[in-house]
Structure 1
Amino acid sequence: MSVESEHADPADPTVSPLAHFGAEVRLERERVGMSREDLGREAHCGYSLVAKIEAGKRVPVLEFAEACDRVFPHANGRFVRLWPLALRHAFPPWFRRYVDFERDATTIRTFESQVVPGLLQTPEYARALFRTGRPDSLDDLVTARMARQSLWARDSPPRAWFVLDEQALHRNIGGAEVMGCQLERLLKAGQEPRTVIQVVPRTVGAHPGLEGPFTILSFGQGPDVLYVDSFSEGRTVLDAAEVDAAAHAYDLLRSYALSPEASAEVIGTCLEELGP
């Protein structure tokens, strides 16, 4: 039985890193005689969220961990060190291995056919997208997705290449305001020197990406890693032949796509069509 079994008490600090994080927050808060309201003010959140984090029922954002290290005199940076382990709880078990690879990647090549790639999503877009599946842990899913984007804040962020079908730009996720902010985010990301965004126009018929979205990760040393998305769960692939086939398909996809400059024009046109 998994230590993260649905029948286990989430407040038990031995159940998971998330529960351990919450128990440590409660221990330090009580040690200094601080109320949950006071900690909430320091961490820019409410009493309810502090209570849920302490009970192991919510995944904290990085800013919460930083606030704990700041206000608890005996923390010594412990909560920021524990935070990545607690965050893993928000990812499905089958996705955690990929997240570890993604964090260490020096180059990321992604193809997406239906929606904006997760590493480029705004919080509002991600929330609207996740909400369609009516999950029990919507806030945790959004927190986890946004946390993955911390790799852009590294001193040396990965080189990234995103190819997406034009239809992903026209699918109005979350309404005009949410979609408008998302398209603006794409335009801004495309201006970053280490990021390339290309759009496969709707006029293209068959192309190698029709079988579904995928990502190829490369590293300073070692073989590439492939991630293939699907309906129920994705696959992290290390088999060299399958990774090579995906790399070949990606090269072909880039040949079908518009140039980065022309792609930005398509994104801008989609933004204008949303209206004021």
Structure 2
Amino acid sequence: MTNVNVLDPGASALDYYGFELRRYREAAGLTQRQLGDILNYTGSLVGQIETARKLPTVEFSQRADAALNTGGLLSRLVKLVMRSQLPAWFQQVAELEVRAAEICSFQTHMVLGLLQTKAYARAVLGVIDETNLDDRTAVRLARQQVFEKEDPPVFWAILSEAALYLEIGGRETMREQLAHVLSFEHNPRVNIQVLPFSAGAHAGVQGSFDIYRFPGDPTIVYTEGYGSGHPTANPDTVKDCSLRYDHLQAAALSLKDSAELIRRVMEDRYGEHLA
């Protein structure tokens, strides 16, 4: 167990966050319990965050910033904390998401992480391994803050129709998830298409992949296996996957027709009227 008296702010982003939280709290002359009362959290939680034993949330950070007059420091730090908690092999991808001007994603069987709801993400991450599930879910959802940037990336997502029917987390979770996908329907920077079953053999049959484009850096293609990620800037791979994505977009339903299909599946398969 980490001791508050020996907490090393240079050990990790989480330790640095805890160190700064404690420093600002003490400067304000507050005990952990008093700060907890102000933030509407327990003093015990404040202590756990200060000693790097508990992950802070975005909401906690915003409240603490306001209460301690930090100038938004903790809200900035929490992004680094969340990213540092990702599996080592995935941290580079999270950095690509933050820097990219355009992201193109193709998913063969489920809704991708940047569009997942809390319940859906929890169900996906909880398969086989339920350890630290709350924290792991919070870390995944924190990546979605990329859409809240002052200049967010243009995001293109192609989902296989199978992703609409694979019942992850139960009917209520799926209904909520599809409703969340539809919430982007009129957002010009988030464009979601469905590749229908009727497309048959298609350019993405070899599996899911993502393309990250940047204003002044080479394009990156990312593929993923069990417990490993494979980013590459190889020109031949980038050219091949870019061509594949163009063909997938051509084979997919239009943005409008995709939304109509998602809405129909949400009501017909997961609607509240069903027993």
Normalised TM-score (structure 2): 0.88
Aligned partner of 2:118 in structure 1 is: 123
Range moving further from structure 2, 127-136 or 175-184: 127-136
Residue of structure 2 in register with 1:251 after alignment: 246
Is 2:228 aligned against 1:233? yes
**1:102–1:93 distance in 2 versus 1, CA, 3 Å:** same
Does residue 1:102 correspond to 2:97, yes or no? yes
Separation in structure 1 between the aligned mates of residue 229 and residue 202 of structure 2, nearest angstrom: 21
Q: Residues 118 and 137 of structure 2 are in contact (CA less than 8 Å); yes or no, is this contact kept in structure 1? A: yes
Whether the 8 Å contact between 1:166 and 1:202 is mirrored in structure 2 is: yes
Is 1:218 the counterpart of 2:244? The answer is no
Contact (CA 8 Å) 1:9, 1:15: kept in 2 or not? no
Shift of 1:216: 0.5
Contact residue 10 and residue 56 of structure 1 kept, 8 A: no
- Cα distance in 2 for partners of 1:233, 1:58 equals 26
Residues 59 and 90 in structure 1, CA contact (< 8 A), matched pair in contact too = no
Q: CA deviation at 1:99?
A: 1.2
Residue of structure 2 equivalent to 1:60: 56
What per-residue deviation string (whole Å, max 9, x for no partner) do you get for residues 73-99 of structure 1?
5x3433233223222221111211221
For 1:167 and 1:185, locate their aligned partners in 2 and report how far apart those are by CA, in whole Å: 17
Shift of 1:66: 2.3
Name the SS for the 2:95 alignment partner: helix
Of 264-273 and 33-42, the range deviating more from structure 2: 33-42
Deviates more, 1:169-178 or 1:42-51: 42-51
Report the equivalent of 1:3: none
- The answer to whether structure 1 residue 196 and structure 2 residue 191 are counterparts is yes
The structure-2 alpha-carbon separation of the partners of 1:41 and 1:216, relative to structure 1 and needing over 3 Å to count, comes to farther
The match for 1:170 is 165
Q: CA RMSD in A?
A: 2.1
In the aligned structure 2, how far is the partner of 1:242 from the partner of 1:136? Answer: 36
Residue 9 of structure 1 and its aligned partner are, at CA, apart by: 5.1
CA offsets, 1:210-239, max 9 Å, x none?
Answer: 222111111222221111122212122122
Q: How far off its partner does 1:44 sit?
A: 4.3
Change in CA separation of 1:214 and 1:44 when aligned onto 2, cut-off 3 Å: farther
1:275 corresponding residue in structure 2: 271
Deviation at 1:156, TM superposition (A): 2.9
Match of 2:32 among 36, 39, 43: 36
Q: Which moved more, 1:14-23 or 1:159-168?
A: 14-23
Q: CA deviation at 1:161?
A: 0.9
Partner Cα separation in structure 2 for residue 20 and residue 84 of structure 1: 12
Q: Give the whole-Å Cα distance in 1 for the aligned partners of 2:41 and 2:191.
A: 36
Asked whether the 8 Å contact 2:192–2:255 carries over to 1, the reply is yes
Aligned to 1:20: 16
Contact 1:113 1:212 in 2 (8 A): yes
Tell which deviates more after alignment, 62-71 or 97-106.
62-71
Q: How many residues align?
A: 268
Q: Which moved more, 1:52-61 or 1:92-101?
A: 52-61
Which runs of no fewer than 5 residues in structure 1 stay unpaired?
1-7
Q: Determine helix, strand or coil for the equivalent of 2:97.
A: helix
Mapped to 1, the partners of 2:222 and 2:141 lie a distance apart of 19
Query: Compared with structure 1, are the counterparts of its residues 100 and 44 closer, same or farther at alpha carbon in structure 2 (3 Å cutoff)?
Result: farther
Cα separation, 2, equivalents of 1:46 and 1:35: 11
CA contact (8 A) 2:79 2:142 kept: no
2:200 is aligned with what amino acid? Answer: G
Structure 2 residues not aligned, in runs of 5+:
none
Question: Higher mean Cα deviation, 60-69 or 30-39?
Answer: 30-39
CA deviation string 1:50-107 (max 9, x = no partner):
333222123222222222222225x343323322322222111121122112111111
Identity %: 35
Residue 158 of structure 1: aligned partner: 153
Structure 2 distance, partners of 1:253, 1:219, is 21
